[in-house]
Amino acid sequence: MTRRILYVVTRAEAGGAQSHVLELLRAMRAAYDVVLATGEDGFLTNEARSLGITVVLLKCLRQPISPLLDISATLELMRVVKAFEPSLIHCHSSKAGIIGRAAARVAGVPAIFTVHGWAFGEGASKFRNFVAVSAEYLCSKLGGGPIITVSESDQALALRHGIASKEQVTVIRNGISDHASRAFPGREGIPTAVMVARFSEPKDHMLVVRALAATETVRVAFVGDGPSMSKVKEEVRGQGLETRVDFLGTRSDVPEILARAHLFVLATKHEGLPISILEAMRAGLPVIGTEVGGIPEQVIHGKTGFLVPSGDMEALRSKLEMLSQNPSLRAQMGAEGRRLFEREFTSSRMIDEIVKIYADVLGQERLGTVPPVLAHAAVGEIRTAKENQSAAQ
């Protein structure tokens, strides 16, 4: 009998956690019966349905803290668990992690929680930190299931706040599928920096705009949407940068956009292990990222790109200017980033490590590698991408 895994994530809009879940859905459906539960329709639900995966919408599952809605969402999810009888519930993002583990506890179903950046930490209010840490502590102690963090930084936060033991928290860094599109960052032309990120906290688009205003050597293209976009557009107009900044909105052709760029930038106040940086590395772009969360685990300063302090406009301006004026350095750093992606950030590596956690939780024989059906799919995917790349050259 095929085991069933229920994936629970709060939001379905395009984002890092959603891209991560999509990687899992694509791979795990080869060996498991998979179901997706989320609080809204969007990018992830559309992609899941196109794969033939059952999608359940939880109308009360929302991101902001709301005791009444949160209790209702937990009851909704309990009904879903009763209807689908999963062998395992895999929760993603803070709110889904709390209600998912609560529903799993009541139903007697094992649960795993993947952290895509904690809801507490620098930049959050004392009240939010207290509520978030308390909720995570209770869920960890009552649920007792494995916690996966996508970065060593998030694992360290969990241990520092006493949320879970070191044995309970495993670091499995994000990985993504390969793609044939490649950038040529050393080519001539007015350099374009791309930032792929939602226009909302903790992302810092304003910092990029202000750094851009202090140099004349680079253009910027923003990919994404969100509530702060109008304010960023106002800043662009106020700085007279309309001809040097493009707002591309939410796009499905991000690999192709990156392939036309010269460098990648991500300014943010706190972070897990952003998928957008992995996409840039995969494309062969040098990366400028703020030195927060798991970003220093992705960007090797001075080798694959540069790290700058969060909020430091002058440091960001300096690195944008340096890379925009040095094509050979862009090409060198982009190539190093691509090699690092191939070594450490592929989806096959990530899936292999997650399947081992599944095997432990489900009481199966511990697997040293991805099950053959998954391994075949992952290897074939990478081989096809490399063949496409060779054909394009």
pLDDT tens sequence across 332-364:
999 999 999 999 999 999 999 999 999 999 986
The phi, psi pair for 346, rounded to 5°, reads: -85, 155
Residue range(s) defining the domain that contains residue 337: 192-343
Give the CATH number for residue 356: 3.40.50.2000
Say whether both 308 and 366 belong to one domain: no
User: Does residue 275 surpass a pLDDT of 60?
Assistant: yes
Task: Tell me how far apart the 2 most distant CA atoms of the chain are, in Å.
Answer: 63
pLDDT tens-digit series, residues 3-17: 999 999 999 998 889
Instruction: Write down how long the chain is.
Output: 393
* pLDDT at site 124: 65
| Mean pLDDT computed over 180-205 | 95
Residue 187 lies in a domain: no
Say whether both 73 and 10 belong to one domain: yes
Which band of pLDDT confidence, cut at 50, 70 and 90, is reported for residue 382? very low
Q: Which of 28-32, 142-146, 285-289, 337-341 has the lowest mean pLDDT?
A: 142-146
Residue 331 lies in a domain: yes
Say whether both 100 and 138 belong to one domain: yes
Say whether both 254 and 209 belong to one domain: yes
Residue 184 lies in a domain: no
In angstroms, the Cα distances linking 39 to 7, 20, 55, 63, 366 are: 12, 17, 10, 9, 33
Say whether both 115 and 204 belong to one domain: no
| Mean pLDDT computed over 18-27 | 96
User: Does residue 97 surpass a pLDDT of 60?
Assistant: yes
Which band of pLDDT confidence, cut at 50, 70 and 90, is reported for residue 2? confident
Say whether both 234 and 158 belong to one domain: no
| Mean pLDDT computed over 44-71 | 93
How does DSSP classify residue 364?
Answer: P
Which band of pLDDT confidence, cut at 50, 70 and 90, is reported for residue 390? very low
Can you say how many angstroms the Cα of residue 114 is from the centroid of all Cα atoms in its chain?
11
Residue 181 lies in a domain: no
Residue 105 lies in a domain: yes
Residue 185 lies in a domain: no
How many other CB atoms are found less than 10 A from the CB of residue 185?
27
* pLDDT at site 337: 98
User: Does residue 369 surpass a pLDDT of 70?
Assistant: no
Say whether both 168 and 311 belong to one domain: no
* pLDDT at site 364: 62
CA gap 336, 339 in Å, rounded: 5
User: Does residue 389 surpass a pLDDT of 80?
Assistant: no
Residue 393 lies in a domain: no
- CB half-sphere exposure, 117, CA atoms < 13 A: 23
* pLDDT at site 118: 85
* pLDDT at site 63: 80
127 versus 35: which is more confidently predicted?
Answer: 35
Which band of pLDDT confidence, cut at 50, 70 and 90, is reported for residue 251? very high
User: Does residue 392 surpass a pLDDT of 50?
Assistant: no
Residue with tokens 């879970």: 164
User: Does residue 20 surpass a pLDDT of 70?
Assistant: yes
Helix (H) or strand (E) holding 43: helix 43-50
Say whether both 106 and 251 belong to one domain: no
Residue 99 lies in a domain: yes
Name the domain count of the chain.
2
CA gap 15, 40 in Å, rounded: 14
Q: What is the value of pTM for the model shown? A: 0.86
* pLDDT at site 74: 96
Say whether both 272 and 309 belong to one domain: yes
Say whether both 162 and 231 belong to one domain: no
76 versus 382: which is more confidently predicted?
Answer: 76
Which band of pLDDT confidence, cut at 50, 70 and 90, is reported for residue 378? very low
Say whether both 328 and 267 belong to one domain: yes
Say whether both 320 and 350 belong to one domain: no
